[in-house]
Amino acid sequence: MTVGDPATDKSKEPGAITAFFRRMIPFLESEKELEKELMSSKKLVDSLTKFQVSRFELWKYFEARADQIGDRLWTIGVWLMTIIGATLALPFAAKFVTFPEGGLVRVTAPLPVAFISGVGVVLVVYSYIALLDMQAHVSRNWERSRIARELEPELRRFGGRKRDGWWVLVFFCCAAFAAFVALFILACVGPDPAAERPL
């Protein structure tokens, strides 16, 4: 092994934290990482053709698979966003957060609001990770269907195929995450309701 050999030099590989954030935010993926994924998909398609499977059949399979997972992505995403929306509405429905006259927002029960906000943040992060994994499967199957047709594969960027529904889900996740964080901050640093009561 020689020092500086790209095939053996591990010093240029990203650390665990960097790799995690690149996994969570695909927009940060480098061209080299994307090309590595495409080469893996190409090897899979080429290996399947050796078993006397026609490229037309492979194209139909991967195309149908991408559409199937894409539809499932939207269905599961809508259910997860409904649960997140219900969790976000809970403090307001229970009157833990009110809008008094002459004021903006008042937290009447800081501890329950902080707890609900924490649960909400966990739900949003879990939903994003689950949906991101499904979106990656959609993109990989779409790439493999293009390779099976002997078309030039596309370097998958943030969103990939079915990107319209994906962007709606991402926007909702970001908005809900910001709302839960704002509620948590209000619950922690807002005025004490007991101190505002008249003696």
69-85, pLDDT tens digit by residue? 888 888 999 999 999 99
Q: Quick check: helix, strand or coil at residue 92?
A: helix
Alpha-carbon dihedral sign for residues 93, 98, 101, 103: negative
Inform me whether the pLDDT recorded for 6 exceeds 70.
no
Greater confidence, 54 or 103? 54
196 to 63, 94, 103, 125, 188: CA distances (angstroms): 62, 20, 13, 35, 16
Long-range contacts of 150-154 (CB under 8 A, 24+ apart): 150/55, 153/38, 153/41, 153/42
Alpha helices in the chain (DSSP H): 16-24, 31-49, 55-93, 110-148, 163-189, 193-196
- Confidence category of residue 193, pLDDT binned at 50, 70, 90: low
pTM: 0.71
Beta-bridge partners for 98: 106
Q: How many CB atoms are located within 10 Å of the residue 188 CB?
A: 12
Strand partners, 107: 97
Which of 119, 51, 110 is closest to 86 using CA atoms?
119
The answer, yes or no, to whether residue 23 has pLDDT greater than 60, is no
Supply the pLDDT for residue 168: 86
Q: Are the C-beta atoms of 142 and 121 separated by less than 8 Å?
A: no
